[in-house]
Amino acid sequence: MVGIERLKEDLTVLGKVAAQVDKALEDGKVSITEGVGLAFSLPDLIGVAKTMKEAYAELKDLTSPEKDELVEHFKAEFDLANDKAEEAVEKIVELGLNIADSLGLFKE
């Protein structure tokens, strides 16, 4: 198992990369400098991909309080310039976790 702390780290990586992409696309294009910055995120993204199976197992093993902790961590770490996009992404993450919870995929 990767544990909830690893899930938090993975969500932080994904949130930071999403924020980088959001910032890079503010003017509608990605500059060379922005592209290089995104390229430096590849090792972190590879790390997230390597633990994907374990992360899925950990998500299924979350208790309801851990799910809430994960949502709050994601909201604190994820900050897009476009507030509506940020809110939509946060709601999607929370909705996905709530659906999994309602399907009984989390431990009680």
Using a CB cutoff of 8 Å and minimum separation of 24, what contacts does 47-54 make? 47/10, 47/13, 48/10, 48/13, 48/14, 51/2, 51/6, 51/10, 54/1, 54/2, 54/6
pLDDT band at 7 (very low <50, low <70, confident <90, very high): confident
pLDDT above 60: residue 91 = yes
Sketch the domain layout of the chain as residue ranges: 3-102
Q: What is the pLDDT of residues 31-78, one digit of tens each?
A: 899 889 888 888 888 888 888 778 878 877 888 888 888 878 877 776
What pLDDT is attached to residue 96?
Answer: 66
Q: For 33-67, give the DSSP string.
A: HHHHHHHTTHHHHHHHHHTHHHHHHHHHH-BHHHH
What pLDDT is attached to residue 51?
Answer: 80
